[in-house]
Amino acid sequence: MEHQGLLSIIVVILWVMAVCLARLTPRVSFPMGSPGRCLSHFDSSDVGNTTTLLLSDDGDTLFVGARNAVLSLDVSQEDAIVMRSKLDWSPSDKDLDECSMKGKKKMDCPNFIRVLQFLNSTHMYACGTFAFSPRCAYVNSETFSLVTSPSGKPEEGRGRCPYDPYQRNSAITVDGELYTGTVADYMGNRPVISRHLSEGGHVDLKLDDTLGWLEDPTFISSNFVPSEEKIYFFFSEVGREYDFIDKFTVSRIAQVCTSDVGGQRTLQRRWTTFAKAQLLCQSDNELPYNVIQDIVTLPPPEGAPVDDTLFFGIFSSQWSVNSGQSAVCAFRLGDIKAVFAGNYKVLNRDTLRWSMRVQEKVANPGECGLHNASDNTLRFVKENFLADDSVHPVGQSLTMVSPDQRYSHVVSQRVQAANGKDFTVLFLLTESGYLHKAVLMEKGAHIIEEIQVFEQPQAVKNLVLSKSKGVLFVGSSEGVVRVPSSNCSYYWSCAECVLSRDPFCGWDPSVKVCTHATSIQDNAGQDVEGGNVQEACVSPRFRFGLHKGKADSFPLGELVSVSLNEVVRLQCPEASSLAHRHWERPNSRLSPDLYLQLEDGSLHFLATPATLGHYLCLSTENGFQQNLAIYQVKQKSSPTPQATAMTTTRPQSPALPPTTQAGSGGWLTPHLTGPKQTKPEPTAPARETPVTTRRTSRNFTFWVEQSGETETEAEWWGGEKLLLGQTYLKELVVVSVLLVCCFSILLTMTLYSVRQRCRSRTAPQANSPGRDSERGGPPEREALRGGQSPCSNGMRNGQMAHNGQANGVVCNVTPRGSNGHLPNTPI
């Protein structure tokens, strides 16, 4: 028992360490309203619950199913979302009264549009909850108007749309036919997967309600695979095959064939091709993430087989140990097909227990074309619909795990990098209102950025990706948000562009900007896998420091005027949450006794003559170091001569942005560690150029001149700054005079001390009186006037007050005469 307890503790420790090591942190974060990530919003006071989204083929129109309305939004503009038209579809007062009489809240009785699908090039099909009495109607997408049925009334939506607006459902149209997964009764106890609007030789189909094919499911999504002629439904339900005390939730994938028309005698108007299997999102020796939240399909690369189609799903866990966490798993179509082609469990109708027994396999459940099979075959597939094996994720491992975020929706896109390699990019929507953009690599996932799209978490959301436009649309109860899928212009240098590891973005050396990788002709600066700046950026710059006795060029920095003994706080901007920030001084180290570096990157210290000077904040990420901020701390009362510097023309590196000019935005030039560059000789005579500091929206400090097109440079020698062309004659004269005065005072004091020693040998008194007593100083003169000396009040019974000192006068304990004078001392 002791060994088992120790083993359990070790397993828990290893699990905690694995979670900590696998923690994913977004590199850059954009809060709501951040200027670095521009979003377009649509909201209206009379429109709510814009959660059902349908994007047109050209990507210019977004159809939205909202509360009591269907909207047509113009999304062709990059910076705005404009409503073209609104189609009202509200229940009548009678319908609302009946809903209230059923015991439902008034706020839940409107018509919430939950199904919105294209039927053909001219019409859409919409279904809504309609005061807990589902209704469906056709929508003319050209005139944007409702088209009623021949009877003049909306169609009944039972089995096509849920009654409750909070119940999840799935719907997809294939060749004008509607396939849905929802509940078919008011109480929500009859789950069903069905086909509607059947055409040609097809008939409407549904599941057999008496077979228990579904166990309290929550439908998530559905997808059509044309090559298989199958529709796959994804949902979670209670796993009856597990004999647990508590209900154990499992994630499922179910399939039906689009060619299914039901059996002739057995399974009439019922699915003959229904089969389901478990999706197992689990790593070795870990508890499974068993509750599916969302799933998306990623088609295979061009030229690859259809079996390489991937399904990326978001999973959470019902176990308390994984509470608050989300995992992403990828499943391959080839593995799914292999599971459905394998053995199936058998349900004992008497005990309602599943078992795996060896028996003759009459048919393959889920195989298309079984509607023409014999009754014996149909009875076999009717009772054997649960696959014995589970679908395991690709690589038998989790794609990524977020220990502190719960994801709700996901979309995926395959992006080709500058080197021709394909990368998968996932856009994950969190329950806290953030959108995470992650790239999947061989070494693991990397979260490029996180964007806040909601101020408050939303209960029902939707996420749609437009690959042609390069944008995402997020639907919520607050409105619709448009998010560009790439943000290359945000990265101001080659180093930042490469460190982002965004397959969308690359550094263009010809124009020195970070732009979309597909628009770069050649030599794009990009390294998604390694993020190696030295290799991706051709011409490196070098970080501040002295090399072989020569000084590097260095900007003056932002001037900070302080008073002595004042607490100085220097802020350092955060270029990346994956970078480590630290502070340095020219040719000196920051002692922890004098300086305090906080976790937010700021530096705190007390202003003293020793702490005045320059301070440099450096950021190190993935082996690359760059400057983030430079400050010049000066004393307020000290004279500040006008800074003049020799301006030299600095050649621009092809891997870095051009020199910032006055009046234009720019960024602090990063430095790379490397050999010293040769500085070009000045081409023009030096002139006085005042240097100022400016800040951008990202709070990065950079330096520009008021005029001219050259950078101001300074030389550092032995840790002191020497501005070329500037003289210090006045300071030299003042220092020389002070030095002479100090030397004269020291010499005078030395001679006086020698003289005192000579006089003390002939003094008639044993005690050594002070200097004032010897020369008849102020204490003696006060005593002659009849006043008290500074020491008289401090003497009581031979004791001295204040350690024998008063007002800077040294007091002795020598007895005094009756007249108040020292005995044997001439007056």
List, in order, residues 6 or more apart from 246 with CB less than 8 Å away: none
Chain-wide mean pLDDT for the chain? 78
Quote the pLDDT of residue 247. 86
Domain end position, chosen among 536, 570, 599: 536
Quote the pLDDT of residue 689. 32
What is the C-alpha to C-alpha distance for residues 263 and 140, in angstroms, rounded to an integer? 36
- The DSSP bridge pattern shows strands 135-140 and 624-635 to be unpaired
pLDDT at 330 over 60: yes
Token pair of 523 as six digits: 């030599």
What are residue 815's phi and psi, to 5 degrees?
-60, 150
The pLDDT > 70 percentage for the chain reads: 74
In terms of domains, do 606 and 651 share one? yes
pLDDT at 646 over 80: no
pLDDT in tens, 520-536: 877 889 999 999 998 89
pLDDT at 726 over 60: no
CATH number at residue 665: 2.60.40.10
Count of CB atoms within 10 A of residue 788's CB? 12
The full 3-state SS of 591-637, as one line of letters, equals CCCCEEECCCCCEEEECCCCCCEEEEEEEEECCEEEEEEEEEEEECC
Quote the pLDDT of residue 152. 66
Query: Mean pLDDT, to the nearest integer, of 677-685?
Result: 39
Domain for residue 99, yes or no?
no
In terms of domains, do 604 and 707 share one? yes
Quote the pLDDT of residue 768. 40
What is the C-alpha to C-alpha distance for residues 184 and 157, in angstroms, rounded to an integer? 9
Quote the pLDDT of residue 144. 93
Domain for residue 250, yes or no?
no
pLDDT in tens, 110-136: 999 999 999 999 999 999 999 999 999
Domain for residue 393, yes or no?
no
Domain for residue 665, yes or no?
yes
Strands (E), 622-780: 624-635, 647-648, 691-695, 701-705, 711-712, 715-717, 720-722
CATH number at residue 532: 3.30.1680.10
The pLDDT > 90 percentage for the chain reads: 51
Quote the pLDDT of residue 292. 97
In terms of domains, do 517 and 649 share one? no
CB 125 within 8 A of CB 136: yes
- The DSSP bridge pattern shows strands 444-452 and 434-441 to be antiparallel
Strands (E), 396-478: 400-402, 407-416, 422-430, 434-441, 444-452, 462-466, 471-475
pLDDT at 698 over 70: no
pLDDT at 671 over 50: no
Q: Which residue has the higher pLDDT, 458 or 474?
A: 474
- The DSSP bridge pattern shows strands 310-316 and 326-332 to be antiparallel
Query: Mean pLDDT, to the nearest integer, of 222-247?
Result: 92
In terms of domains, do 661 and 515 share one? no
In terms of domains, do 601 and 662 share one? yes
What are residue 8's phi and psi, to 5 degrees?
-65, -40
Quote the pLDDT of residue 359. 63
> pLDDT band at residue 358, thresholds of 50, 70 and 90?
low
Domain for residue 584, yes or no?
yes
What are residue 458's phi and psi, to 5 degrees?
-115, 145
Q: CA 793 → CA 768, 801, 806, 811, 823, distances in Å?
A: 21, 8, 10, 11, 19
In terms of domains, do 509 and 636 share one? no
Split into its structural domains, the chain has a count of: 2
Q: How many CA atoms lie within 13 A of 750 on its CB side?
A: 6
Domain for residue 629, yes or no?
yes
Query: Mean pLDDT, to the nearest integer, of 465-471?
Result: 93
Q: How many CA atoms lie within 13 A of 707 on its CB side?
A: 4
For residue 206, the 8-state DSSP code is B
CB 196 within 8 A of CB 269: no
In terms of domains, do 565 and 700 share one? yes
Domain for residue 532, yes or no?
yes
Domain for residue 267, yes or no?
no
In terms of domains, do 523 and 553 share one? no
In terms of domains, do 511 and 641 share one? no
Q: Which residue has the higher pLDDT, 150 or 222?
A: 222
In terms of domains, do 523 and 561 share one? no
Look at residues 317, 313, 137 and name the one whose alpha carbon lies nearest to residue 234.
313
In terms of domains, do 696 and 640 share one? yes
For residue 112, the 8-state DSSP code is B
List, in order, residues 6 or more apart from 142 with CB less than 8 Å away: 122
Query: Mean pLDDT, to the nearest integer, of 604-613?
Result: 93
List, in order, residues 6 or more apart from 746 with CB less than 8 Å away: none
pLDDT in tens, 255-264: 999 999 999 8
In terms of domains, do 620 and 725 share one? yes
pLDDT at 16 over 50: no
Query: Mean pLDDT, to the nearest integer, of 368-381?
Result: 89
Number of H helices, E strands in the chain: 9, 51
Residue 773: what residue type? S
- For residue 529, give its domain range: 487-536
Q: Which residue has the higher pLDDT, 656 or 333?
A: 333
